[in-house]
Structure 1
Amino acid sequence: MGIIIQISQFLLGLSLLIILHELGHFIPAKLFGTRVEKFYLFFDVKFSLFKKKIGETVYGIGWLPLGGYVKISGMIDESMDTEAMKEEPKSWEFRSKPAWQRLIIMLGGVIVNFVLAYVIYFFLSFIYGDKNIDATSIQDGYLVENPLLTDLGFKTGDNITKVGDYDVNYVSDIKGNFIGAKTIEFTRDGVKKEIAMPVDFLGQFSDSKRRDLFEMRYPFMIAEVPDSSINKSVNLKQYDVLTKIGQNKIKYYDQAVSILENYKGQTIDVEFLREDVVLNETIKVSNEGKIEAVPYGRVGSDYMQKLGYYNMTTKEYSFGESFSGGYNKFTGQVGKYFGQLKEIGNPETGAYKGVGGFYAILNVFPNTWSWPVFWSITAFLSIMLGVLNLLPIPALDGGHVMFLLYEMISGRKPSDKFMEYAQTVGFFILIGLVLFANGNDIFKAIFK
């Protein structure tokens, strides 16, 4: 069921972004009297899943979910319809329109992407506010299991206070500012420390099998005691939280795992919390150091706050305040994405190894449905789509904009033959990037 929810969110978010992006081209084209021959969600290579002609435009759904397109008459685009370009320009063709109108048509999709992201962040601020984990309320630091971090000298229990140039006020600040950070500051047993991050850390992280960095520590909360467990007859129930093993008080799952290693094959008294009531039981420990009870891999933030592990802060916005709240989220995410592109463009960082395709985007969505999470991811993907389309690569909107700006500044329009060659080169560059990104996904799935 989880994978179905994940795929559903992926397809819904992708379809929404594609349709609105193409509408950004479609609407100004129609306003300027330019004929649009096709409007497609996904690509219709050889055949379409659905198509219907309304007026002069064929609307359809292709079978290949790699994007979408509008085919504008008199424009050299991915369709490479060069035969039509040999005829005399018609008044309703793209090439017959003034340069400023063509520029607006080409920028329309990107503008819609950015406006959409801002609108989503506006409503997220107004409806849900900002809910964060107060970093100053973290008492015993973070969970560090990634060998890349332990090799650098980090340990479980380190309390991260600064990532690069950014102070950590909320737990989300750690992951949000990690890309490009040269140093990490933290406290260990009350002593302030700093570790310099390797230039190629992002490349190393992409090569590793671990997907986590600094994670929240969580209690040993029982999810299930299976019938095959050596403790199936013990009074352990779902949501019980282990608080003591033998004479050892425990607060976190990682502590329990370490302590149980000392009691392999033994019987031991434990203490656990059940709905604010402290109970005691005697349990068996397997020869592998397990009690054979399935724990929750992660415990929900609301429950963690209830147990006193940290404090959640919620900032609510009025309708008027949501304009600035949405703007701050929007500009923050745009800045972070440009930072990611900067790291990817620097071969020394190895960040290009983390570039992913459609499978990577699919995995960004959770396997449970949450509207705030769905819209947050969709907003970021909208920014990503907008920025990538602005890249000055022929076949992308940014390539067309680049040539239009050249025309407007120099007064000379590039020839149709030049545009054909440029579009062909851009197409192969684009295919190369798509193959590289999705090839990374395949490589990781097979070898990692």
Structure 2
Amino acid sequence: MTPILIKTIQFFLSLSLLIVLHELGHFIPAKLFKTRVEKFYLFFDIKFSLFKKKIGETVYGIGWLPLGGYVKISGMIDESMDTEQMQQEPQPWEFRSKPAWQRLIIMLGGVTVNFILAVVIFIGLVFTYGEQYIAADSLKDGIWVTDKTLGDALGLQTGDKILTIDGKKVEALSEIIPGFALGNHYTVERNGEVIEKEVPVNVIQTLSDEGDRDKIRSLITFRVPFVISEVPKNSINKDSGLKSGDFVVQIDGQPVEYKDQVLPILEAHKGKTVPVVVNRGGEKIDLNIKVAEEGTLGVYVGMTPEDYKEAGYLEMKTLKYNFLESIPAGWNKGVRTLTDYIKGMKKIFNPDTGAYKEVGGFAAIGGMFPDTWNWSAFWATTAFISIILAFMNILPIPALDGGHVAFLLYEMITGRKPSDKFLEYAQMIGFFILIALLLFANGNDLYKWLFK
């Protein structure tokens, strides 16, 4: 299967699961409170359904328009806009006849299930796979900023040791880019001096303008010692004397240790033969090596995680959890993911950050899945999307669960229920707001596809 097809299958599988469970979150309390549910649909059935079957008083079906799903609850002004039913006398089995606290539980059911689902997935992931990461404070000589121009725009340099972001210690190397995208200030150790710096307000736009997601992901990494791991048989340096395990410590008289120091020297000596010094088992050996026209040596460079640790360059930490330990770990991961997403939303509503340009629609969500089938990545992405759905649905926008919740809270506090006519107008306004957001998000996807 092609990568696009694999992403598409994962997207629809994840989306279907999340929609069904979200709507089940409304369905179950509605049935518990003896409220009639007329329809339970995956996707929307405008004009016709791909499948439907009536069981009891509820029609279960699959619509043709994959923009979400819904449960149609009797006596409720929702996306169906069934105003004819609302003009009749309230019936005991209708939503509008139930106490406000029961209606509130019914409306909160969907987002509650979404959050609980994410936590359950995170519990399963940490229990099954544990957590593995490069400890940020273990990096011998700080980070490697692989793109100097982009690094300068963010205020970062190769050799920096990122200590904290927004006052919180950076535990894992992989936390730095997300931390910068969501944070406001950080502390860095540079040349032995600890400096407090502000995260550039337009950091998200800066990263977005780069356009290459893989380049962004690898922007901040560990400094790779220039250790020869393999000299291929077709290498231009197959007869140079280079051997696997050689540490290159000097090129053309310049002392070096890391790949980030070697690359600019090779760039300056394209097509030439240059003297090098390698450390081989503690012995310094002089060699002459050829630099290809592309500024490469035709060799593989790197070490195993165990070798990096043994040589003191970094430490790869692995956290394993038993089942009981995985429960609080999964819960904390769910809360942290939700908190980080809220921070990201705050950035979006600040025009100075340019984060609104990163708002994406279905293509952006589909792009979050890996292009090869990986259950760990699939479930992690599904959990993240479940958090997004929980947050987005609880926003106090009419037509969303959060809009209904807001009106119910108003009723419970004031003792006055909004009129059906008001709720009808609010539902229509909310619907147009959602359409506008949908067009904006997917318009961003289209713009990036055409121009980036």
TM over 0.5: yes
Task: Summarize the Cα distance change of 1:157–1:267 in structure 2 as closer, same or farther, 3 Å threshold.
Answer: same
Is the 2:236–2:290 contact (alpha carbons within 8 Å) kept by the matching residues of 1?
A: no
Shift of 1:446: 1.9
Q: 1:155 aligns with which of 147, 154, 157?
A: 157
Q: Distance in 1 between matches of 2:408 and 2:303?
A: 53
Shift of 1:303: 8.5
Shift of 1:69: 1.3
What are the superposed Cα offsets for residues 373-413 of structure 1, whole Å, 9 maximum, x if unpaired?
33222222212211111110000000001111122222222
Is the 1:166–1:177 contact (alpha carbons within 8 Å) kept by the matching residues of 2?
A: no
What are the superposed Cα offsets for residues 329-365 of structure 1, whole Å, 9 maximum, x if unpaired?
2222222122122222223333222222222222222
Shift of 1:22: 0.7
In the alignment, which residue of structure 2 is the partner of 1:127? 128
Shift of 1:102: 1.4
Is the 2:120–2:330 contact (alpha carbons within 8 Å) kept by the matching residues of 1?
A: yes
Task: Summarize the Cα distance change of 1:101–1:182 in structure 2 as closer, same or farther, 3 Å threshold.
Answer: closer
For residue 323 of structure 2, give the secondary structure of its aligned residue in structure 1: coil
For residue 126 of structure 1, give the secondary structure of its aligned residue in structure 2: helix
What are the superposed Cα offsets for residues 209-265 of structure 1, whole Å, 9 maximum, x if unpaired?
3542523444779999999xx8489589xxx78854856776654444323213322
| Identity across matched positions, percent | 55
Please state if 1:420 is matched with 2:401.
no
Which runs of 5 or more residues in structure 2 are unaligned?
280-284
Shift of 1:27: 1.1
Shift of 1:189: 3.2
For residue 169 of structure 1, give the secondary structure of its aligned residue in structure 2: coil
Q: 2:221 aligns with which of 194, 215, 219?
A: 215
Please state if 1:40 is matched with 2:44.
no
Q: 1:201 aligns with which of 200, 203, 209?
A: 203
For residue 178 of structure 1, give the secondary structure of its aligned residue in structure 2: helix
In the alignment, which residue of structure 1 is the partner of 2:60? 59
Q: Distance in 1 between matches of 2:110 and 2:71?
A: 11
Q: Distance in 1 between matches of 2:364 and 2:78?
A: 28
How many pairs are equivalent? Answer: 439
Deviates more, 1:63-72 or 1:98-107: 63-72
In the alignment, which residue of structure 1 is the partner of 2:357? 353
Shift of 1:151: 3.6
Task: Summarize the Cα distance change of 1:210–1:271 in structure 2 as closer, same or farther, 3 Å threshold.
Answer: farther
TM-score by length of 2: 0.84
Shift of 1:49: 3.0
In the alignment, which residue of structure 2 is the partner of 1:370? 374
For residue 320 of structure 1, give the secondary structure of its aligned residue in structure 2: helix
Shift of 1:271: 9.6
CA RMSD of aligned residues (A): 3.6
In the alignment, which residue of structure 2 is the partner of 1:314? 318
Aligned partner of 2:137: which letter? T
Deviates more, 1:170-179 or 1:64-73: 170-179
Task: Summarize the Cα distance change of 1:299–1:72 in structure 2 as closer, same or farther, 3 Å threshold.
Answer: farther
Question: Residues 162-201 of structure 1 correspond to what in structure 2 (within 5 A)?
Answer: 162-201=164-203
Shift of 1:307: 7.9
In the alignment, which residue of structure 2 is the partner of 1:265? 271
Is the 1:43–1:66 contact (alpha carbons within 8 Å) kept by the matching residues of 2?
A: yes
Task: Summarize the Cα distance change of 1:91–1:153 in structure 2 as closer, same or farther, 3 Å threshold.
Answer: closer
Task: Summarize the Cα distance change of 1:140–1:404 in structure 2 as closer, same or farther, 3 Å threshold.
Answer: same
In the alignment, which residue of structure 1 is the partner of 2:89? 88
Aligned partner of 1:42: which letter? F
Q: Distance in 2 between matches of 1:300 and 1:89?
A: 70
Q: Distance in 1 between matches of 2:344 and 2:27?
A: 30
What are the superposed Cα offsets for residues 43-85 of structure 1, whole Å, 9 maximum, x if unpaired?
2333333333322222222333222111222211112122222
Q: Distance in 1 between matches of 2:149 and 2:204?
A: 14
In the alignment, which residue of structure 2 is the partner of 1:276? none
Shift of 1:21: 0.5
Q: Distance in 2 between matches of 1:308 and 1:445?
A: 43
Is the 2:131–2:319 contact (alpha carbons within 8 Å) kept by the matching residues of 1?
A: yes
Q: Distance in 2 between matches of 1:120 and 1:130?
A: 14
Q: Distance in 2 between matches of 1:446 and 1:342?
A: 28
Shift of 1:176: 4.2
For residue 93 of structure 2, give the secondary structure of its aligned residue in structure 1: coil
Deviates more, 1:203-212 or 1:88-97: 203-212
Task: Summarize the Cα distance change of 1:307–1:62 in structure 2 as closer, same or farther, 3 Å threshold.
Answer: farther
Aligned partner of 1:347: which letter? P
Shift of 1:30: 1.7
Task: Summarize the Cα distance change of 1:282–1:348 in structure 2 as closer, same or farther, 3 Å threshold.
Answer: same
Which runs of 5 or more residues in structure 1 are unaligned?
274-278
What are the superposed Cα offsets for residues 103-153 of structure 1, whole Å, 9 maximum, x if unpaired?
111111011111112222222333333322111221232232163431454
Q: Distance in 2 between matches of 1:299 and 1:368?
A: 26
